[in-house]
Amino acid sequence: MQLFKDDAVSWLSTLADASVDLVITDPPYESLEKHRKIGTTTRLKVSKASSNPWFDIFPNARFTELLQAIFRVLKPNAHFYLFCDQETMFVIKPLAEKVGFTFWKPIVWDKMCIGMGYHYRARYEFILFFEKGKRKLNDLAVPDILEFKRVYRGYPTEKPVPLLAQLIAQSSNAGELVVDPFFGSGATLIAATELERRAMGCDIADDAHATARQRYLAVTGE
């Protein structure tokens, strides 16, 4: 597992064209800050749910350059998954299609328990499923609703490793390179390592690096 500390787009610019087999990421999109301010997420600056500081928001205005960078580094016939909410989905989909991605569908992550809020409390999150070229999923029997219990009291917006493992198993093979330009808790990179994929990621936050290294040590002993 290789970790880098940099702006996500700047870091992606250092990778060679068509060098990555799979990208899975969860940018800190603008609407997260809106939810935080109105109290519909527990991920506050420092809260009982998380002792980690809130991370810098990646503005919607930069999504085109991010998507262009991801498209460039992905190999032909590769998949790209992006976690987001229903508001951000409508921003990203047309931008990704304009860059050249094929949009297949939003996969629903059912967290199996409700979160905060007051206009129907949130129980799910979207995972946008994009394709560059054409690549067959490894298991066509997997449904578009994935049930994995959310991580409680973890790193801000942390995703469960088994959920990431499901996506990685679907869209890559052993030995291939999985990249996450906003690795956060390191869950994607840990899942990739456990599935014998090569893993590289970038995050600008010191807490992200400390968390990911600690988790990697716990998994590998290295």
Interval 138-196: pLDDT, tens: 999 999 999 999 988 788 789 999 999 999 999 999 999 999 999 999 999 999 999 99
CB 106 within 8 A of CB 126: yes
CB 189 within 8 A of CB 183: yes
Each domain of the chain, given as residue ranges in start order, spans 2-220
DSSP 8-state assignment for residue 191: H
Please report the pLDDT score of residue 64 as a whole number.
Answer: 97
Please report the pLDDT score of residue 220 as a whole number.
Answer: 82
Over its length of 222 residues, how does the chain's per-residue pLDDT go in tens digits? 999 999 999 999 999 999 999 999 999 888 755 555 545 454 444 444 444 455 578 899 999 999 999 999 999 999 999 999 889 999 999 999 999 999 999 999 999 988 776 678 889 999 999 999 999 999 999 999 999 999 887 887 899 999 999 999 999 999 999 999 999 999 999 999 999 999 999 999 999 999 999 998 888 877
pTM: 0.90
Cα–Cα nearest to 181, from 38, 68, 45: 68
Full DSSP string of 39-50? T--S--SSBTTB
Q: How far apart are CA 111 and CA 159, in angstroms?
A: 10
Domain 2-220 sits in which CATH superfamily? Answer: Vaccinia Virus protein VP39 (3.40.50.150)
Burial of 7 (0-12, 13-18, 19+ CB in 10 A): middle
Q: How far is CA 54 from the centre of its chain?
A: 17
